[in-house]
Amino acid sequence: DIQMTQSPSSLSAPVGDRVTITCRTSQNIFNYVNWYQQKPGKAPYLLIYAASSVQSGVPARFSGSGSGTEFTLTIDSLQLDDFATYFCQESFSNTPTFGGGTKVEI
Amino acid sequence: QVQLQESGPGLVKPSQTLSLTCTVSGASISKGGYYWGWIRQPAGKGLEWIGRIYASGSTNYSPSLKSRVTISGDSSKNVISLKVSSVSAADTAVYYCARTMTGHNDAMDVWGQGTPVIVSS
């Protein structure tokens, strides 16, 4: 299995801040990383696919970068609606795995 | 607009088989270009991928669950089914079905609302 190490597990930031979440993988997976947002009691929501492509309808303050074994999700100017848990996911293998999640709090 | 809706018993006894259904509307599960899969999430924990099925009927399963999981599709009803045998308390979770786009890095772009399952006697 490909291991996904996501950090930090939680962070606290004020509205307007820039937030960065990182995922490191146990092997080179090129750009096969996707990012999801999940709010309490709701299903995950796709934000970024192929490491840096923004899903249709997702606000421009969300961006992704990275390749190989290190990937980053950045939220520019954090909004109240962004307080949630974020997960990375590798899609390089036929049995995808998720990172442990990052809870973004005020 | 594609929508997925999970359904099934919310309570299953230990050692029995958990059976869930995902009804797909707005898209055909028999059309290529997508996988249809299952993911679960224990309360307060992360996401665990369970498995998926392609339009052709081919499947992939999580290595840790492979011996107990079966995913199937019924194109006449446009539903995907999940069976997990020999369940224990560790299988208690919210179960989601999701569509995976093969043309977009195998990203899961549409999710059901999830259905909670408790394993308890």
The pLDDT of residue A106 is: 81
Inter-chain CB proximity A91 and B107 less than 8 Å = yes
What is the mean pLDDT of the segment spanning B96-105? 92
State how far the alpha carbon of B88 is from the alpha carbons of A77, B39, B68, B84, B93, in Å: 44, 17, 11, 10, 11
In this complex, do A101 and B105 lie within 8 Å of one another by their Cβ atoms? Answer: no
**How far does A49 lie from chain B, in Å, by closest CA?**
6
Summarised one tens digit per residue, pLDDT across range B54-99 is: 998 999 999 999 999 999 999 999 999 999 999 999 999 999 999 9
pLDDT averaged over every residue in chain B: 96
Residues 6+ apart with CB under 8 A from A40: none
Taking the Cβ of residue B102 and every Cβ of chain A, the question of whether any pair is shorter than 8 Å is answered with: no
pLDDT at A56: 95
Query: What pLDDT is recorded for position A105?
Result: 95
Could you say which of B49, B98, B109 has the minimum Cβ distance to residue A97?
Answer: B49
pLDDT digit string, tens, across residues B17-44: 999 999 999 999 999 899 999 999 999 9
Low-confidence ranges of chain A (pLDDT < 70): none
The pLDDT value recorded for residue A31 is 96
Distances (CA, A) of B71 to A17, A51, B1, B36, B110: 43, 28, 24, 9, 18
Interface of B with A in 17-46 (CB under 8 A): 39, 46
